[in-house]
Amino acid sequence: MTDSNRVYVNILDKDYQIACPAEERDALHRAAEELDERMRAIRNTGSIIGLERIAVMAALNLCHELQQQRKNTAKPNDAESISRMMQKIDKVLTSHE
């Protein structure tokens, strides 16, 4: 890992060194900032103690949100499929009348 590929981020008061292509640096910094905010929010609830547990909860929350987003973006495709099936059924029923 060369110095030019290293990015330094701070998450929950800990510094991390990450290999990252130059064109991805801004995205990595934004991701680290969001993760830091989420982990701080979880820590501030006081119900979860320990960096590892906070990180796991943040990861679970992010994965859940990603699944929900994927599910929501899949709905239009499902609606299109249902619409096409209904059209086919209508054609078959019309041709048998």
Q: What's the whole-number mean pLDDT along residues 22-40? A: 95
In the chain, the domains with their CATH numbers are 3-96 (3.30.160.880)
CA–CA distances in Å: residue 60 to residues 14, 16, 97: 20, 21, 54
In which band, very low, low, confident or very high, does the pLDDT at 83 lie, cut at 50, 70 and 90? confident
pLDDT at 1: 53
The two tokens of residue 53 are: 């547990």
Single pTM value for the model: 0.68
Q: Who wins on pLDDT, 58 or 84?
A: 58
Give dist(CA 12, CA 22) in Å, integer.
24
